[in-house]
Chains A and B, each alone.
Chain A
Amino acid sequence: MKTGMRKERIDRGIKVRSDGIYALSSWREMSYLMAPRALLVGGLLLAPLILHFFPYWQKVLLIVCIYALLSMAFDFLANYVGLVCLGGSFFVGVGGYGAALLNKYLHFSPFLSIPVAALGGAAFCTFLLLPCLPLRGVYFAIITLMYPLMMTRIIEAFELFGGTNGMMDIAGFANPWAEQYFLIISTLVFLFALRRLAVEDIGLVIRGIKDNDQSVRASGINITVVKAQALFCAAFLGCFAGAYLAHMYMWAGLSMFALDFSIIPIAATVVGGGGCLLGAVVGAILLVPLSEALRAFGPLRIVSYSLILTVVIVIKGEGLLNYLSRKYDQFERWVEI
């Protein structure tokens, strides 16, 4: 306990000015607002060009986007709707098999089968998860964890969709640039759309449900319907990622229900900082390449990965992006009392 001095945190003048209408009055303020967004958008759009001579890392970039979508879905459900979802792999699997089926039997091109599989898969997932939506607590987490396991066993037992071999000969993307930019642009669009949704009226209701569902019910709103809509949005992102993955690997199989798709997004959200969606994306951008780089460690890869995660959580439990945005928006000074 220091006596007499206190560290004070104050919003920067430029933040206060650019929060209001004055944002448009000068280039300085506009660039203050735009710079972080431009950095992300520009960075992601330029990345395929920069990585042109490193095809391996181009693939990593695509995996980053896949995990960014899943992390956004997790962050949205956990920190806006208040549902802890352990079923990222469920969404990926449903989307992946959906796209594969559409392509194989209806001969949809990738650009058609991905959105259709995402929409249909999201509806399917929402329908299956509907029974545990009116409840709070652990039920949703458990059920989302169980479904992917159940799906794997069903597909194995009944030899559905190629059984353990999976479905091969799915159409890939004809053009590598289209392949990359399709995913990158979609990721960015979904990111900003979801952030927008969270501050619209429906977003307010959704966050209200997280804080106190009884009060929202008392305001005459059917929370199951709203939760189902929110879940549909999140499942859409997950299924989109899965459908894309099927076309990228030209294969859909049981490993799409692997636990990785459920766990890594959670880690990414924790590292990047939950509650603003952008943090989840930043987390994925950091973690996925990191885990690729750690391949050099061989069997110790998971050990070093876990150590890094633990250290981040202990030192900066708030998440990287929350910390950075505070430094960006506020300054600190010691004041005498």
Chain B
Amino acid sequence: MLVAEGLMVFYENMLALNNISIKCGENQIIGVFGANSAGKSTLMYTLSGIILDQMKKEKMRGGEQITVMGEISLFDQDISSLKPHLRARRGIVLCPERRRLFPESSVLENLKIGAYMATKKEAKETLDYVLEIFSPLKKLLHRSAGFLSGGEQQMAAIGRALMAQPKLLLLDEPLLGLSPAYQQVVMESVKRIREMKKISIIITEQFARPVIPIVDYAYIMENGSRVMSGSGQELLDNPDVKAAYFGV
């Protein structure tokens, strides 16, 4: 469903993404692994279109010059120059790194903001279903999001992204700062989301071990370039990859 060809992103003269091509089929989970400064977040911003917004803002205040190149298509339609909110309407929804919840709104309000484009019926269904997957949120609905713990915030953030009725969900480092037990919980729920909602998911992460069991296909990035790709098992069998990203 999503095909990105030859993505290149420059921050001023620094190459952040070097000729990246990735594909995501329907109902697939794709993993993108890489260390710091590999370009994972840039890739997510580029796919979701947020980078176009950053580009505009930087230009306005005379800051860094961002250059974006390459082609992205969703369901065989070119969306390379589509603005982020229009991409979200077509179904690409980003759950950003470090959650970016609205700290002064309650959890319920956060989820409702996410459902802005959904119909009432969809919103209600999705809300029930988000609370079913992330059951700890039930008790926290009226607490302001800024006071939740990291794991709870992560659940709320993924929940908010789901409320927007994604066809392709982009999860940028969803495990950041979570305990191993919580990581398992989040990964299990990602798997369930895929099964119940029949949507595609792209996950980026630094440490591949908790993610690899649920992905169908994975890419490994280093300094903005794709260095390897394969199914989860193929990557697991590769000794270099094992040493670098699985901590074995």
Contact = CB atoms under 8 A, between A and B. Distances in A.
B69 A3 contact: yes
Interface string B56-99: 00001111010111000000000011000000000000000000
Interface of A: 1-3, 6-10, 273, 316-319, 322-323, 326, 337
B53 interface: no
A9 B65 contact: yes
B12 A9 contact: yes
16 contacts: A1-B80, A1-B81, A2-B69, A6-B67, A6-B69, A7-B65, A9-B12, A9-B13, A9-B65, A317-B61, A318-B60, A318-B61, A318-B63, A319-B62, A326-B62, A337-B8
Contacts of A6: 10, 67, 69
Nearest to A323: B62
Interface residues of B, number: 14
Nearest to A318: B62
Nearest to B10: A6
A1 B13 contact: no
Given A3-B69, A273-B62, A322-B62, 5 more contacts: A1-B68, A1-B69, A6-B10, A317-B62, A318-B62
Nearest to B6: A3
A319 B60 CA distance: 10
Given A1-B81, A8-B13, A9-B12, A337 B61 contact: no
Nearest to A322: B62
Nearest to B52: A1
A138 to B, nearest CB: 14
Interface in B25-58: none
Nearest to B57: A317
Contacts of B60: 317-318
Nearest to A313: B60
A3 B69 CA distance: 6
A337 B13 contact: no
Interface centre among A8, A319, A323, A326 (most CB of B within 10 A): A8
Nearest to A337: B8
Contacts of A8: 13
Nearest to B81: A1
A10 B13 contact: yes
B200 to A, nearest CB: 24
Nearest to A10: B13
Interface centre among A7, A318, A322, A326 (most CB of B within 10 A): A318
B67 to A, nearest CB: 5
Nearest to B63: A318
Nearest to A6: B67
B186 to A, nearest CB: 28
B67 A7 contact: yes
A309 to B, nearest CB: 16
A337 B7 CA distance: 12
Given A1-B81, A9-B12, A337 B65 contact: no
B66 to A, nearest CB: 11
The 8 tightest CB contacts between A and B, nearest first, are: A318-B62, A317-B60, A6-B67, A322-B62, A318-B61, A1-B81, A317-B61, A9-B65
Nearest to B61: A318
B15 to A, nearest CB: 9
Contacts of A3: 69
A208 B142 CA distance: 35
A22 B81 CA distance: 45
Contacts of A7: 65, 67
B192 to A, nearest CB: 37
A337 B62 contact: no
Contacts of A319: 62
Nearest to A274: B61
Nearest to B58: A318
Contacts of A1: 68-69, 80-81
